[in-house]
Amino acid sequence: MDTTTPAAALSMPTELWLLGWSVVLALVMLAVHILTATPDLGLRTAVSPRDDNPQLSGVFAGRAKRAWSNFMETYPLFVALTLGLVVSGQTGGIGLSGAWLWFLARLVYAPVYYAGIPWLRTLVFVGSILGLILMVFDLLT
C-alpha cells in the first residue's frame, strides 16, 4: 500500500483543503440528523414521502435538524466563495482567514447547538458570517 501523500494534495490551496473537510463536516451533521430523526419519527414515517409533514418531537432530533438546516443556509455561500477565490488565484490572505473562520465556527456550531447553549450558538453563527464577509471582501477587492 502506498502511504505517500499525493503531490496534488501537497500543492492544493488551503481553501480547497477546507472545502474538502467541510464536506466531511456536512456528512457528519447529516448523519446526526438522520440518526436522531429516524427513531423519533419511526421507521415507517422515515422511509415514507412524509406528505403529511410530520414534526420531530425529540429535543435532540429537533436540534440536529435545525443545526443541519442552518448549516445548509451558509454552505452554498462558502462553496461559491471558496471556488471563486481559488479560480481567480486569490488564495491566501484575508480570504483564507475568512475560510478558516467560517470552517472553525461551523465546526463548533453543531455541538453548541446540540447542547442547547443559546448565546454562544448565536456568537458562533455570527463568527461564521464574518468569515464569509472576509471571503467576499477578498474576492471583490
The angle formed by the CA atoms of residues 51, 52 and 54, to the nearest 5 degrees, is 115
pLDDT, position 131: 98
DSSP conformation class of 54: P
Q: What is the pTM of this model?
A: 0.88
| H-type alpha helices, 4-92 | 7-11, 14-41, 43-46, 59-87
Please write the tens of the pLDDT for every residue from 59-104: 998 999 999 999 999 999 999 999 999 999 999 999 999 999 999 9
132, 77 Cβ separation under 8 angstroms: yes
CATH topology of domain 14-51+58-140: Four Helix Bundle (Hemerythrin (Met), subunit A) (1.20.120)
Mean pLDDT value of segment 38-53:
75
d(C-alpha 131, C-alpha 47), whole Å? 37
